[in-house]
Amino acid sequence: MKKQMLLGDEALAQGAVDAGCSGVFAYPGTPSTEIMEYVQKCPEAIERNIHRTWASNEKTAVEAAVGMSYTGKRTMSCMKHVGLNVAADPFMNSAFVGANGGHIVTVADDPGMHSSQNEQDSRFYAKFAMIPCLEPSNQQECYDMAFHAYELSEKFHLPVMMRLETRLSHSRSGVERREMLPENELKLPEDRNQFMLLPAFARRKYKHLIAIQPELEAAAENSPFNWVEDGKDKSLGIIACGLAYNYVKEVTTRYKCDYPILKMSQYPLPVGMIKKFMDSCDYILVVEEGQPLVEEMLKGAIPRDNRIKGRLDGTFTRDGEMNPNKVAVALGKEKSTEIIIPDVVAGRPPALCVGCPHIDSYKALNEVLKSFVEDGQRHVFSDIGCYTLGFLPPYNAINTCLDMGASITMAKGASDAGLFPTIAVIGDSTFSHSGMTGLLDCIYDKTNLVIIILDNSTTGMTGGQDYTGFGKLEAICIGLGVEKEHIRVITPLSRHFEENVAIMKEEIEYNGVSVIIPRRECVQTMTRRMRSLKKQEAK
């Protein structure tokens, strides 16, 4: 079969579809977004009509995937690393109830924080939940591992984590496809207790999960994705995990280093394989993308083995992304050099687009706050999305960004402490993801605050995906108990500036919960929509 050029995300998506997946559940998040986007356009997925619409958030996505697994069908939930925090509750418990149809939990980490608020290594979650974890090193493995993951998941009746990173998710290479498998038939759990976590059952399930760990380890020992490449120079052995394997091979090939390499792509840690490998080499270099999971496990709390090098002993930096240069330095082949960009080059940070509706909203907000607080004394709680860029000059409009939905709840806490005026700024998709429950808290306590839901009618930062609450914002707010007269929809345009400032002022002065919805379509999605309209007209 001819090779297709696919991103790691796309290769995994195609792999899951070809392996008989009946439904994908996800919320957008860089670098995982392209998995669902690919499934939505994939001819085979459309032909089979597998589930492929966005979920409200990662928690609802994982729960829906567990439900699909309940019916015996193969399924996949996808998210970025911080999305797994949102989905942690169903994720952890899904290891207890297990899987009926195969369930892949795909998590795309973002080492180096290219587009994220933190750097966390999802392999720790897989270990925490005691489920198998697969860590592909290239696009072909992303594809092949989907088949392998479903086999593992159905063999051990457990969800399986697929861990990707930015450089794999967003890197393209040739991928060879296999023949498509049929979807599973609907087959409900034979054991009525399987998906029931009353404590009496949960205790038994935990014992079972512990009991099968040796089997999971044996599966990793025999995995087609874990192997040892022998080398003549046994002064050093390299344990190369997932994506880091590429950097190791790049450097060892170039400098003709003949060290043994253990390539690690399936967990739990195959201890027997590692022990044998370590016994055969003088020193061990652990190269892993993200946090030092393998290195910490090999060292233990009280290190007795001083032969292990990695992120913990300073051989590599403790944070940040791996790259070929770091590996070459660790192997003593290159000097560590600081990248020196010519002086004449200025920084070009991301910024709100020209014509972005958020700019007009922030201008009005900045103006109205002048009449309440002195310059520099203003505090606005905000959230995660394009509008987080409003922190930067020239807007300097917001003060916080913690996690999805935290604008409303942090503002509530500050209002409870007596801060006035208290403003929360959240995007429409973020509100739909995690803002609604926080708003309900405010209603319950009659909190004095103003919530500004910036409605650009899309999930902007990740490239313009639709979201579940679209077109329902007022109805949601009314339903949660916001008084109708304190839900104010405004148009963020410069010609409405004074009117918008006046409305914001009124709502700040109202002692209670106010919601202001500045509504104007994202300029990026509008341009795309216009272009596709034009194309249709041309036809």
Partner 1 sequence: MKQDIILAGVGGQGILTIAAIIGQAAIDNGLNMKQAEVHGMSQRGGDVQSHLRISDMDIHSDLIAEGDCDMILSVEPMEALRYKPYLSVEGWLITNKKPFINIPNYPDMEALENEIRSLPRQVLLDADQIAKDLGNVRAMNIVMLGAASKYLKIPYESFEVALEKVFGRKGAAVVEMNINALAAGKAFSEK
Positions 366 through 395 that interact with partner 1 (CB under 8 A): 386, 389
Among the listed ranges 96-104, 187-195, 300-308, 456-464, the one in contact with partner 1 (CB under 8 A) is: 456-464
- Residue with Cβ nearer partner 1 (328 or 453): 328
What are the Cα distances from residue 67, in Å, to 16, 22, 31, 156, 165?
17, 12, 25, 18, 27
Phi, psi dihedrals of residue 175, rounded to the nearest 5°: -130, 135
**Judged by CB under 8 A, does residue 328 bind partner 1?**
yes
**Judged by CB under 8 A, does residue 200 bind partner 1?**
no
Shortest Å distance, C-beta 479 to partner 1: 33
Question: Residue from 171, 315, 396, 468 that binds partner 1 (CB under 8 A)?
Answer: 171
Residue position matching structure tokens 């180096």: 112
Question: Residue from 51, 172, 307, 488 that binds partner 1 (CB under 8 A)?
Answer: 172
Size of the site for partner 1 (CB under 8 A): 48
Amino acid at 280: S
- Residue with Cβ nearer partner 1 (214 or 350): 350
Among the listed ranges 19-27, 57-65, 193-201, 242-250, the one in contact with partner 1 (CB under 8 A) is: 242-250
- Cα gap 324→254, rounded to integer Å: 11
Shortest Å distance, C-beta 354 to partner 1: 8
Residue position matching structure tokens 């009124």: 506
Shortest Å distance, C-beta 147 to partner 1: 22
Question: Residue from 1, 211, 302, 341 that binds partner 1 (CB under 8 A)?
Answer: 341
**Judged by CB under 8 A, does residue 521 bind partner 1?**
no
- Residue with Cβ nearer partner 1 (7 or 365): 7
Question: Residue from 67, 355, 413, 463 that binds partner 1 (CB under 8 A)?
Answer: 463
**Judged by CB under 8 A, does residue 332 bind partner 1?**
no
Amino acid at 288: E
Question: With contact defined as beta carbons under 8 Å apart, do 65 and 103 qualify?
Answer: yes
Positions 389 through 428 that interact with partner 1 (CB under 8 A): 389
Q: Under 8 Å CB-to-CB from 400, ≥6 apart: which residues?
A: 380, 381, 382, 406, 407, 410
**Judged by CB under 8 A, does residue 43 bind partner 1?**
no
- Residue with Cβ nearer partner 1 (488 or 528): 528
Shortest Å distance, C-beta 497 to partner 1: 23
Q: Under 8 Å CB-to-CB from 149, ≥6 apart: which residues?
A: 102, 104, 134, 160, 162
Shortest Å distance, C-beta 373 to partner 1: 27
Shortest Å distance, C-beta 521 to partner 1: 16
Question: With contact defined as beta carbons under 8 Å apart, do 262 and 252 qualify?
Answer: no
| x-marked contacts with partner 1 along 261-300 as a string, rule CB under 8 A | ----------------------------------------
**Judged by CB under 8 A, does residue 530 bind partner 1?**
no
Q: Give the burial class of 411: count Cβ atoms within 10 A of its Cβ; 0-12 exposed, 13-18 middle, 19 or more buried.
A: buried
Residue position matching structure tokens 């791996």: 322
- Cα gap 105→329, rounded to integer Å: 35
Under DSSP, the state recorded for 52 is -
**Judged by CB under 8 A, does residue 34 bind partner 1?**
yes
**Judged by CB under 8 A, does residue 461 bind partner 1?**
yes
Phi, psi dihedrals of residue 4, rounded to the nearest 5°: -105, 145
What does the angle CA 86 – CA 87 – CA 92 come to, to the nearest 5 degrees? 130
Shortest Å distance, C-beta 350 to partner 1: 4
Q: Among positive and negative, which fits the CA dihedral 314, 317, 322, 327?
A: negative
**Judged by CB under 8 A, does residue 33 bind partner 1?**
yes
Question: With contact defined as beta carbons under 8 Å apart, do 469 and 431 qualify?
Answer: yes
Shortest Å distance, C-beta 325 to partner 1: 5
- Residue with Cβ nearer partner 1 (62 or 461): 461
Question: Residue from 40, 53, 115, 396 that binds partner 1 (CB under 8 A)?
Answer: 115
Closest CA to 368 of 356, 357, 380: 380
- Residue with Cβ nearer partner 1 (156 or 395): 395
- Residue with Cβ nearer partner 1 (181 or 392): 392
Taking the alpha carbons at both ends of the chain, their separation in whole angstroms is: 33
Paired with 241 in beta bridges are 264
- Residue with Cβ nearer partner 1 (168 or 517): 168
> For the residues of 363-421, what is the DSSP string, one character each?
HHHHHHHHTTS-TT---EE--SSGGGGGGSTTT-------STTHHHHHHHHHHHTT-SS
Kindly list the residues in this chain that would bind partner 1 in the complex (CB under 8 A): 3, 5, 7, 30-31, 33-34, 114-115, 167-168, 170-174, 243, 245-247, 249-250, 253, 323-325, 328, 337, 339-342, 344-354, 386, 389, 461-463
